[in-house]
Structure 1
Amino acid sequence: MPGGRLTQQERQQIALGLADGLAYAEIARRLDRPTSTVTREVMRNGGPTAYRADLAHRATERRAHRRGQAAPRGPQAPPAHGRDAEAVRAYEETLTTVFIQQGTPKMMARVMACLCVSDTGSLTAAELVRRLRVSPASVSKAVAFLDGQGLVRRERDASRRERYVIDDDVWYQSMVASARGTLLVAETARQGVAVLGSGTPAADRLENIARFLDFISESIVRAADQAREVLHTAPAAPPEGDAASGGEATSGSGRPPRTGRP
């Protein structure tokens, strides 16, 4: 599978595929590229209905030119944990694209993704401006939106600087909010039963919709409550044998690993 930047010819093939109504996965297969590459390319250049190969290619060249001109401020720290910086950047763009597809506005999605891939889960406005290469006003607007949605919160660090934090619990709150929205649709559907007359085809349809959405909403909340602690649990460290005591390595359940028959 080829790597590197998309060529102008590949972008033209993407445009033709979109015009033919092909799915991103099929376009990617024909280009021998990851689906995420095609998805990210389309979403950052106008979306499936507005994508233009020539405009996308010029926009990419401009972004590359700006990155080349951006002078690093001070010594650059090596990537944490020995990570591949380019791979992290590409993943952050992929995560941003997914957030956009789920309905998050682009700038807000970029801030969310940037916070998600930071080890601390929190950044200052200056750090976001530097990492995203956008204006302070853009960051301020995005944070205000995310704060209003309960997706980030503001804190003061020891230096009294305001930090924007993406709480691990935000995913639980998001699921609960989604369930509430689903329940609202169910309640509204049930109101229509009385209006349309119980026992009529339209009323029966709405009653079935309400029952289905009731079940889905309750299931989401129940599952979220049961799984909530997962968000706050550190992954178990890989088991290691105790060489000093001659003990056996154990599995994640605390039992010795199974061995084959002699």
Structure 2
Amino acid sequence: MNQQDRQRIAAGLADGLSYAEIARRLDRPTTTITREVARNGGPTGYRPQQAHQATLQRARRGTPAPPPAAAPAGSTVEQEIIEMAVRSGMPRTAARVHHDLMLSEDGRRTAGELARRLNVSPASVSVAVNYLVQHGYARRERDPRRRRDIYVIDNDAWYHSVVISRRQTIETVRATMAAAESFGLDSPVGQRLSKTAAFLEHVSLDMIESADRWRSLLA
């Protein structure tokens, strides 16, 4: 594997691609990509230049590369859950924060705890939490005694995320309908836009009705 391959691996990780997809693009076995990333910092710490230099040093010493450390139980499954969230559009750090909150026993972490557990900066945690709060996946609580924020995910978070998603969809419906009227509802463009607005409105209505009907499952 050359340095260009490693740069493509780093780019793939940054784009949230799975190991299998990166391997397909490089025409290499998935296990090769998995070992390469695992022995050189993992998916969040992989650096192509450092990985290349480390490989050259091992080759000069004539010693085999050390095997990757054994992964803790469930880590592969957890990584796949994070990858699925990234593929759905969630920023990677936000996906990691969200998953770590889900795994906490009481669904609560401080910024410092998240930064230490995920090995990221407090600023990165703040950006990630802003995204989660904006989309209803988590909320902030203030600890008055220590003057710090606590980030919380509870059973109702999924319901709130649906409500916020519907609100955003309705805003899209209004903007689309306004555009349809500006083109003229009898024009081809106006008709296309008005049908789009009607479709989104009905889908969002079904979504919130379904969320209200099944909200008791989260109690």
Q: Do the two structures share a fold, i.e. TM-score over 0.5?
A: yes
Higher helix content, 1 or 2: 2
Q: Which residue number corresponds to residue 84 of structure 2?
A: 98
TM-score by length of 1: 0.54
Given that residues 182 and 213 in structure 1 are in contact (C-alpha distance below 8 angstroms), is that contact kept between their aligned partners in structure 2? yes
Q: Indicate the RMSD between aligned Cα atoms, in angstroms.
A: 3.6
Superposition pairs for residues 53-72 of structure 1, below 5 Å? 58-63=36-41
Alignment length, in residue pairs? Answer: 176
- 1:227 is aligned to 2:217: no
Superposition pairs for residues 50-129 of structure 1, below 5 Å? 58-63=36-41, 86-129=72-115
Question: Residue 57 of structure 1: CA displacement?
Answer: 5.2
Deviations 1:10-52, CA, capped at 9 Å, x for gaps: xx9xx9xxxxxxxxxxxxxxxxxxxxxxx64268x7x998x79
Q: Structure 1 counterpart of 2:160, which letter? A: Q
Unaligned runs of 5+ in 2: 9-16, 46-70
Given that residues 184 and 190 in structure 2 are in contact (C-alpha distance below 8 angstroms), is that contact kept between their aligned partners in structure 1? yes
Given that residues 96 and 113 in structure 1 are in contact (C-alpha distance below 8 angstroms), is that contact kept between their aligned partners in structure 2? yes
Q: Which residue number corresponds to residue 139 of structure 1?
A: 125
Unaligned runs of 5+ in 1: 1-7, 16-38, 67-84, 233-262
TM-score by length of 2: 0.63
**Which structure's CA Rg is the greater one?**
1
Calculate percent identity across the aligned residue pairs. 34
Question: Residue 95 of structure 1: CA displacement?
Answer: 1.8
Q: Which residue number corresponds to residue 180 of structure 2?
A: 193
Question: Residue 200 of structure 1: CA displacement?
Answer: 2.8
Question: Residue 218 of structure 1: CA displacement?
Answer: 0.9
Mapped partners of 1:229, 1:180: distance in 2 = 21
Deviations 1:143-172, CA, capped at 9 Å, x for gaps: 344344443223356974643211322211
Question: Residue 134 of structure 1: CA displacement?
Answer: 2.7
